[in-house]
Homo-oligomer: A and B are copies of this chain.
Amino acid sequence: MSPKITTELLKQLRQVMKNPKYVQEPVQAYIVPSGDAHQSEYIAPCDCRRAFISGFDGSAGTAIVTEQHAAMWTDGRYFLQAAHQMDNNWTLMKMGLKDTPTQEDWLVSVLPEGSKVGVDPFIIPADQWKRMSKALRSAGHDLVPVKENLFDTIWTDCPQRPCKPLITLDLSYTGVSWRDKIVALRSKMAERKVMWFVVTALDEVAWLFNLRGSDVEYNPVFFAYAIIGMNTIRLFIDGDRMKDPPVREHLQLDSTLEPEFKIQVLPYGSILSELQAIGAGLSPKEKVWLSDKASYALTEAIPKAYRYLTPYTPICIAKAVKNAAETEGMRRAHIKDAVALCELFNWLEKEVPKGTVTEIIAADKAEEFRSQQKDFVELSFATISSTGPNGAIIHYKPVPETNRTLSVNEIYLLDSGAQYKDGTTDVTRTMHFGTPSAYEKECFTYVLKGHIAVSAAIFPNGTKGHLLDSFARSALWDCGLDYLHGTGHGVGSFLNVHEGPCGISYKTFADEPLEAGMIVSDEPGYYEDGSFGIRIENVVLVIPAETKYNFKNRGSLTFEPLTLVPIQTKMIDVNLLTEKECNWVNEYHQKCREVVGAELERQGRHEALRWLLRETEPLARVQ
């Protein structure tokens, strides 16, 4: 990697920061956050402004450019990458280290008195604006919205905002029609006495209307907003895609409908003016519901007294609880995904010893096998295909510069997943194609014990996922090992592979309680820097559990694994497992045999079937 030369770009940016054509008053600093106007985790190329100005293209980072300085804040995952990708114009601000100033403190230390700090009000979430604005004001500066994004003038070859065709999902996939979703949403609005709900997150728009898109890589979403009133529906979306007959039919755009279900289609760019018009016309007690992570621009369109802000929207919460059709779809998707991985691992077992398989080849092969499955759409995130020391880099993605050849001497970690029309997958398996060392097996077995402890946990209804996080660590902790990431995240149904409002992590306490029908990942790991990485990840469904006393009728929950891919028994030190854990592995493998075996048979994939049968031989524990 060679750094991007940014001298000229920074010069241009500093010019527009003072140019009255673009800013009302000169700004002495300009903040370039990651992210788009929808606070998406994955963003489209046209929204990669921070990467454009700095060269650093990791998933998290905020750039601040002043007249004299250019600084980049990012976290531990990206210190190395950012240092490689940025030139000498930039100062790297290593977040999490004791001596690293916050953005606010740094700004206060470098700005001349009474400065203006500009930021695009569509990119910065309202809660973040509030915090930063307060800190700057108390030091005599002002945070100001710069409405014309300054980049539009200097990023001359900025790609167009994608506007790809839409996919309509019928009831067999979604279980609930968009009309019924609107009815349910309006009833939540009535409960909270709000008149309007503004849908700003892309996956929430997609879920609400039972539509999918491909404007953003990995996430099957499309650029749109919606405003739902008690009697009106406004959808803000661009392009010819709304002329597509199946889409028109799906949304009943040309039918005679009750007025409250008539969708008014408006240009994507008109959301602000429409919302401002609503804001200006509100009568007392008419509240507007927004996520507290919505952009500052949209939040400000509603006068403060009329805002109703919540960390999780009713759509976010409803979307997390999968109905029967979605659950069945997720099951089907995971069976197909398991077929693809059985094929892959069978292929790797033969090819790796030849010394010709690199991390990139393995990742491509995984995609090839997945793409052979019915309703395959795309990958659900960039495949983490890593061998040996690369496995210890938690967010590794192989690139030519780092691409390593798989061998019989190193552990191989594959964290990958796909979008199928019936569901989203995300699975990690850690394999050895030779003979693992006793230490590697020991570590793998502790990780497995943690995986099982979460997967088999029984807990009362209403328990928040973060209360289960330590179960995943207990076996590692007993030996003085740990891993520095959370244990699980919510997974969408043919939607984002990471979604709220639930999860399993020591870090998140704002998670909503787990409910039957929610789907999360269970992915403890262990990483030995410079040597190897281990992670075992299943996607699991929250289901009711049967317990002897049932929590005084409060109800019991547990997890059912949706992922059905063998866990390499060669890596397990059976003597470290309890009888219960050993039984769990054997029952899990029995289920893989039955369910995935039948599908491999049906698809005529006999060699992969033989691999599956070999890999799922029952463990025998020495008594």
Chain B residue at minimal CB-CB distance from A546: B480
**Complex contacts, A468 vs chain B, CB 8 Å:** 470
A549 to B471, CA, bound (A): 19
Q: Is the CB of A547 within 8 A of B471?
A: no
Q: Is the CB of B459 within 8 A of A547?
A: no
Asked whether any CB of chain B lies closer than 8 Å to the CB of A556, the reply is yes
Q: List which A455-503 residues lie within 8 A (CB) of chain B.
A: 457-460, 467-471, 473-474, 477-482
Asked whether any CB of chain B lies closer than 8 Å to the CB of A506, the reply is yes
Asked whether any CB of chain B lies closer than 8 Å to the CB of A551, the reply is yes
Asked whether any CB of chain B lies closer than 8 Å to the CB of A509, the reply is yes
Q: List which A538-571 residues lie within 8 A (CB) of chain B.
A: 547-551, 554, 556
Q: Is the CB of B459 within 8 A of A477?
A: yes
Q: Is the CB of B547 within 8 A of A479?
A: yes
Size of chain A's interface in residues, with CB distance under 8 A? 26
Q: Is the CB of B477 within 8 A of A458?
A: yes
Q: A482-B460, A482-B551, A551-B482 in contact; A474/B471 too (CB < 8 A)?
A: yes
**Complex contacts, A460 vs chain B, CB 8 Å:** 477, 480, 482
A459 to B506, CA, bound (A): 13
Most buried by B among A458, A479, A480, A482: A480
Most buried by B among A457, A474, A509, A556: A474
Which of B467, B470, B481, B547 contacts A478 (CB under 8 A)?
Answer: B547
Q: How far is the CB of A264 from chain B (nearest CB, A)?
A: 34
Q: How far is the CB of A616 from chain B (nearest CB, A)?
A: 27
A471 to B477, CA, bound (A): 13
A458 to B474, CA, bound (A): 8
Q: A457-B474, A474-B457 in contact; A548/B467 too (CB < 8 A)?
A: no
A458 to B551, CA, bound (A): 28
Which of B471, B473, B480, B548 contacts A550 (CB under 8 A)?
Answer: B480
**Complex contacts, A547 vs chain B, CB 8 Å:** 477-480
12 contacting pairs across A/B (C-beta < 8 A) = A457-B474, A457-B477, A458-B477, A459-B470, A459-B473, A470-B471, A471-B474, A477-B556, A479-B547, A480-B549, A480-B556, A509-B509
